[in-house]
Structure 1
Amino acid sequence: MSEAATHSTATSPAPPPAMEPTPGLLHSLEPLLREWLPRQRWFAGKGRPVTGFSLVAGTELLPMGSGAKAGLLHLLVRAHQPLLPSQGAAAHPGPGDCYQLLLGVRAALPPRLAPALIGHVAEGPLAGRTVYEALHDPRLADVLLEALRSQTRIGDLRFSRDMRHDIQEGLVPRLVTSEQSNSSIVYGDTFILKLFRRVVSGANPDLELPLMLSREGCPRVPAPAAWMVADLGSDANPGTHVLGVLQPFLQGAADGWELALSMLAKGEDFAAEARALGRATAEVHTALTRALPTATLGRPQLELLVEGMTERLEAATQAVPALRPYAPGLRSAFEALSDLAAEGRTWSAQRIHGDLHLGQCLRSPSGEWSLIDFEGEPSKPLAERRMPQPVVRDIAGMLRSFDYAAHSLQPPATDWASTCRAAYCSGYADVAGTDPRTDPVLLRAYETDKAVYEVVYEARHRPDWLPVPLAAVHRLATDPCTDIP
């Protein structure tokens, strides 16, 4: 019987009392981390060398001395890197990004865990031991679930839960292996634990907003069942860092992106799904206005918003020469918004999803849509991600996602995208009472800003995809009215 099968019936042991990692531990791990960390999908500093590490916090969740075959180290490690040349020599390099690492420690790694290998420690307190990615190991994944279930406090780590959720013992863990900007473990097809890799101090929207929506009774967002935080009190690393959120696993749910691609490839209409997704988005936005304060954006706020969009466009044209011929037309999208603000036009702002696209949506077997992953764009500062913004920003992200799906076919299914965009806006209007298309200047500005971001991203990471946002840029810059469904 496999180890995972054994754990499906056995009771997971309670985590032992916390132990601080032995002095010198990080120094001994540094050669391994320099090689392993930059290769991870969730590492944000790709393209820049790591010059050093510093330990923010560390806890032995499962010490090797406890009689276990494997130990479990929880580390918050800051990776120090030089700035990119484009960031300017005068800029301060900053403290570096902080990453959450869960490291397994064994005398020898069994073959089934070979893909999780980080390396063999040559010196220090773990000399002669093998270190590996702990989330691949069911024994160690069990420790996290039991800590959440029992609301344990271990050193700087605090595990909390909502007692309305029944978290059973012995749920079989499996690591989600698809590429993500974080890491996820599914427990028994009942819960999914999302562990944030790049962490910052403050209220993470991926816990904050689903908790708020749960209290509002919004069914479109899975309610957090438990969460994991680090309470740090030092001057260098103050405050609470949200480390992970446990939510119900929507068994049998279809990823919105994969579903759209599948239906498109088979020539099936996606308009009904797009309309239902528009209604779900509006339900979430409406619930957020009940749960949290809203704001009014007047001329001063709009001028700052337009200034930011314009600066991003200027930086993008420097980074991607193919964008330069379209710059005047794209700039006009932002100028039109500035002109309306100068005339006294105002807009409402509220908390939103912040990074909405088809891949952030799940459709249940019953046909209901849910929105997930409220973290926002991890590359942006937390304070910016938590600022009230026009709902059109979320809508523009989804409209761009339909366009991306349409380009999975050659030639692109532009009529399919237009139909989906129109259906999504109509569905949104069914619930919100206001159709996003009735504010074309604001919608065009946000779509333009999103397309410019996509051009830079694709040029850096996926050059083969660059024609997708460039096609949108061409439409938005030359005949903007045709890009509004």
Structure 2
Amino acid sequence: MTHTLEELLAGWITHQRWFAGKGRAITELAVEVTTPLALRGPAESLHSDVAGSSRTTDASARTHAEEQILLRHLIITVRQDSHTDRYQLLLGFRPRLPQRLQHVAIGETPDGFAYDAVHDADVTGVLLSSIAKDADLGGLRFRHMPGTQIDTSPRSLVLGGEQSNTSLVFGDAYICKLFRKIIPGVNPELEVVSALAERGSPNIARPYGWIEADVDGQNTTLAFTQEFLPTASDGWALALTSVRDLYGSLPGTTAADAGGDFAAESHRLGVATAHLHKELAAAFPTNTVEAPEVKRMVEGFRRRLEAAIGEVPPLAEHAGVAHETFDRLADIRRPIIVQRVHGDYHLGQVMRTPSEWVVLDFEGEPGQPLHERRALDSPLRDVAGMLRSFDYAARHLLSDHPDAEALEQRAAQWAQRNRAAFIAGYSAGGGRIHGDDAVLLRALELSKAAYEVEYESRNRPTWLPIPLSAFRNAVS
């Protein structure tokens, strides 16, 4: 029995990590736009000329079908009852699928075996080469940053572990992130990183180019290419190494005495975060939030807390301290300064290079509308996110640890030491946290912890003690 490409895609897409509609039946899948990108033979280089690549149904092309690889960019719509999302796909078509690509097979079509071509380094070079020369292929526009030179020779490798996007690493020079779920408009990551690069910020990876198209009449970012940092270390991994060193040290060893003390790096990260916020405030407009809007913000915090209690009733006995903090925030009469922020800030979003902390992933929460991700907010929201991340780094290893109870004191000590170092660094870098700012920061952190309670209850119950500890240890 043969299947249409749409039928094959409907069966395949639900198993992809980046597909946002898991758990809901697909009522319709349609190919909205198809753009030929390349036609390649065994002894040929990629042809990215649209006119040439679109002649895949000519008699001459069919004569050499055994030798050819077709590459097509697709924008598809997926309907699940009343909910509709768009996704972008990079599909390859081969007469025979080699063993190395069997794991990304989609199915057999009249054009050959279809597969997820982001995993095929034989064809993905067309993305980099098209960005380098500002190519227009059908409705796709490939653009490079002014003043940059791109080496198009490196082959690509898919970076693992991503949930909502797919990133291709080209050699040790570039990383190209494909935004799988398409939301009309300019992606905040392109917008923010470009602006910070113009200001010469040392805390970002250099941008090289992007891919865009018109979707619903809006210029829409499909992919973003930046400098790859092969010698940098992930902040989350560095923090966990420090925690493991402390857990494995002799009884009585403090976080300050353990061999992998992370506090100096936490301080440097705080300084870098403050500098980043100053650059964002200079690159984009700022504003103030007056008392009535602060009260509405507080009501939102209370609703989130009540929702978390509904999900995890034992939280109720610790909720009083949160309400006291929210009350204090509601009583603040001075305006709160708001600006562009990162929006999804934690240890997994920062990399330590030999010289500096570099911040990644400025796209914000992928599930939120673009206007919300671009919205001005207090920079202390980022600070609160990082403080919560220190708690997670300290405690998540305890979820299945045989000595969890005995190590809890060390976990609390590590978290407190690194939180304090980060705050000190943020203040030293020019970030403001005093007086009413401290009240706002605490409220933001407890609201974030309430969200985490809901999330962990639904997805990782063994991690639930981590956000609950934020309420048990809170001091209003």
Q: TM exceeds 0.5?
A: yes
Letter in 1 for 2:188: P
- In the TM superposition, 1:277-292 aligns within 5 A as 277-292=269-284
Q: Tell me how far 1:174 sits from its aligned partner.
A: 1.1
Asked if 1 retains the 8 angstrom alpha-carbon contact of 2:274 and 2:431, the reply is no
SS in 2 for 1:178: coil
C-alpha contact 1:393 1:446 (8 A) present in aligned 2:
yes
Is the contact between residue 355 and residue 394 of structure 1 (CA under 8 Å) also seen in structure 2? Answer: yes
The offset of 1:289, in angstroms, is 0.8
Q: Which moved more, 1:434-443 or 1:298-307?
A: 434-443
Q: Distance in 2 between matches of 1:275 and 1:225?
A: 30
Q: 1:329 to 1:384 in 2, by over 3 A?
A: same
Report the Cα distance in structure 2 between the residues aligned to 1:146 and 1:437, rounded to whole angstroms.
53
> Per-residue CA shift, 1:164-210, capped at 9, x if unaligned?
22211211211112233211111110111111111211121110000
Report the counterpart of residue 183 of structure 2 in structure 1: 200
State the alpha-carbon separation in 1 of the partners of residues 350 and 187 from structure 2.
19
Change in CA separation of 1:300 and 1:56 when aligned onto 2, cut-off 3 Å? farther
What secondary structure does 2:168 align onto?
strand
Query: Helix, strand or coil for the counterpart of 1:217?
Result: coil
Task: Confirm or deny: 8 A CA contact 1:392 1:436 kept in the other structure.
Answer: no
Partner-residue secondary structure (3-state), 2:191 = helix
Bigger shift: residues 437-446 or 346-355: 437-446
Alignment partner of 2:26 out of 36, 50, 62: 50
User: How far does residue 258 in structure 1 lie from its aligned partner after superposition?
Assistant: 0.7
CA displacement, residues 204-233 of structure 1 (integer Å, 9 cap, x when unaligned): 11100000101111110112111011123x
2:39 and 2:68 in contact (8 A); partners too? no
Matched, 1:387 2:384: no
1:461 corresponds, among 442, 459, 465, to 459
Q: Does residue 96 of structure 2 align to residue 108 of structure 1?
A: yes
Which residue of structure 1 aligns with residue 158 of structure 2? 175
Amino acid at match of 2:275: E
Q: Which residue matches 2:75?
A: 76
Structure 2 partner of 1:14: none
Aligned to 2:351: 362
Amino acid at match of 1:74: H
Q: Which moved more, 1:40-49 or 1:289-298?
A: 40-49
Q: What is the letter of the counterpart of residue 263 of structure 2?
A: A
Distance 1:37 1:336 in 2: 48
Query: How does 1:313-324 map onto structure 2 within 5 Å?
Result: 313-324=305-316
Gaps of 5+ in 2: 41-55, 247-259, 399-403
> What are the Cα deviations for residues 408-466 of structure 1, in whole angstroms up to 9, with x where unaligned?
24324110110100110111111115236862210111101111111122222222212
Equivalent position amino acid for 1:217 in 2: G
For 2:463 and 2:337, locate their aligned partners in 1 and report how far apart those are by CA, in whole Å.
34
Q: Select which of 468, 471, 482 maps to 2:469.
A: 471
C-alpha offsets along residues 295-323 of structure 1, whole Å, 9 cap, x if unaligned?
00102321332232223233333334443
Distance 1:461 1:73, change over 3 A: farther
Question: 1:372 matched to which residue of 2?
Answer: 360
**SS across alignment from 1:469:** helix
Query: Map of 1:255-334 to 2, 5 A cutoff?
Result: 255-267=234-246, 268-334=260-326
Q: Does the aligned pair in 2 maintain the 1:59–1:74 contact within 8 Å?
A: yes
Query: Paired residue for 1:244?
Result: 223
For 1:139, what is the secondary structure of its paired residue? coil
How far apart, CA to CA, are the structure 1 residues paired with 2:181 and 2:128? Answer: 21
Specify the SS of the correspondent of 2:124.
Answer: helix
Counterpart in the other structure of 2:85: 97
Contact 1:282 1:431 in 2 (8 A): yes
Query: Structure 1 residues 372 and 63, CA, compared in 2 at 3 Å: closer, same or farther?
Result: same
Unaligned runs of 5+ in 1: 1-24, 83-92
Q: CA offsets per residue over residues 143-177 of structure 1, 9 Å max, x none? A: 11111111111111100001422211211211112
SS of match in other structure, 1:138:
coil
**1:395-410 to 2 correspondence within 5 Å?**
395-407=383-395, 408-409=397-398, 410=404
CA RMSD, aligned part only? Answer: 2.1
* 1:223 aligns to 2:212 (yes or no): no
Q: Report deviation, 1:376.
A: 0.5
Structure 1 SS opposite 2:345 = coil
Whole-Å separation in 1 of the counterparts to 2:225 and 2:302: 39
Q: Which amino acid aligns with 1:357?
A: H
Hey, what's the Cα distance between the residues in 2 that align with 1:380 and 1:356? 15
Alpha-carbon distance between aligned partners in 2 of 1:248 and 1:238, rounded to the nearest angstrom: 30
Name which of structure 1's ranges 161-170 and 344-353 shifts more when overlaid on structure 2.
Answer: 161-170
Deviation at 1:106, TM superposition (A): 1.4
Change (3 A) 1:33 1:329: farther
* 1:31 equivalent in structure 2: 7
Q: Please, which moves more after superposition, 44-53 or 155-164?
A: 44-53
1:48 to partner: Cα distance: 1.8
- Aligned-pair CA distance for 1:139: 1.5
- The equivalent residue for 1:11 is none
Percent identity among equivalent residues?
A: 44
Corresponding position of 1:415: 413
Aligned-pair CA distance for 1:397: 0.3
Q: Could you tell me which residue of structure 2 aligns to residue 22 of structure 1? A: none
In the TM superposition, residue 63 of structure 1 has moved relative to its aligned partner by 4.9
TM superposition shift of 1:40: 1.7
Deviation at 1:334, TM superposition (A): 2.5
Amino acid at match of 1:404: Y
Task: Give the structure 2 partner of residue 90 of structure 1.
Answer: none
SS of residue matched to 1:266: helix
Q: CA deviation at 1:262?
A: 1.3
